[in-house]
Amino acid sequence: MDLTFTKMHGCGNDFIVVDDRAREWDLDETAVEMLCDRHFGIGADGMILVRPATDPAADFYMHYINADGSLAEMCGNGIRVFAKYLVDRGFVTSGRLVVQTLGGLKPIEIVPDQGGAFALARVDMGEPVLEAAGVPTTLANGRVIEAPLVTEAGTVAVTCVSMGNPHAIIWVDDVENAPVDTIGPEVEVHAAFPRHTNVEFAQLIGPSHIRLRVWERGVGETLACGTGACATLVAAVLTDRCGRSAIVDLPGGELRIEWPQGGHVYMTGPAEQVYEGVYPIPDRD
């Protein structure tokens, strides 16, 4: 069976997007991992299936799967890609939409360019979850702010935030030389995180500027992570490093993150289409 797909990215975080409004694609972990493989498949950080919403308050449902085939609650860059996919194809025609995810409903405002086409998406990412049980993590009973976590490479201080998916933020002096590919995978699967976690390595550049690298759960290091950028700003506020609005500079581009006093977190950033294609999926026995 042929899979018709669109390759898209948000700040270099790339995805295979499939129109699954008819609910005909039920790909197992092995199939998703093969499709996302950069040598033998299409190549992507994850796969997005566009499906009808089951919640009457939402326009569509975003079914997101990591590159290793594991199901994820949410993806910040993926949801902007999802919005662009819908807008460019006329599936939604207003400047606002609501997307259902496993991490909850996400209202989105479309920011057009001068010609009226999609330029940016401003996503209401919801309220951050700060209590340990909700992240989830076993590192504390309440908020986890710069808590010591023992790894084989030494003890690191982590601040834990959920943006519908778990994050552990580690502040470093030099993000370019941070041990992303050594400490990252160890923290990801640490026993303190029962559902595993995304791991952020963050450097404060200025009062409203953060530089960030992310080891994503089920993927590895990616060029950008939207939920990770949101969690990092929250962690910066909690540790008195930064104000409530900042540019988060990731290897693949910039995101503007805002966390108004006591409110929801907002993420604004771009999304791009790369190409469309067809990939043959072997028939199952």
C-alpha to C-alpha distance for 81 and 207, rounded to whole angstroms: 29
Q: Which of 36, 160, 225, 242 is catalytic?
A: 225
Query: What HEC string does the chain produce?
Result: CEEEEEEEEECCEEEEEEECCCCCCCCCHHHHHHHHCCCCCCCCCEEEEEEECCCCCCCEEEEEEECCCCECCCCHHHHHHHHHHHHHCCCCCCCEEEEEECCEEEEEEEEECCCCCEEEEEEECCCCECEHHHCCCCCCCCECCCEEEEECCEEEEEEEEECCCEEEEEECCCHHHCCHHHHHHHHHCCCCCCCCCEEEEEEEEECCEEEEEEEECCCEEECCCHHHHHHHHHHHHHCCCCCCEEEEEECCEEEEEECCCCCCCEEEECCEEEEEEEEECCCCC
225 is catalytic: yes
11 is catalytic: no
Q: Which of 75, 160, 230, 242 is catalytic?
A: 75
Question: Which amino acids are annotated catalytic?
Answer: 75, 225
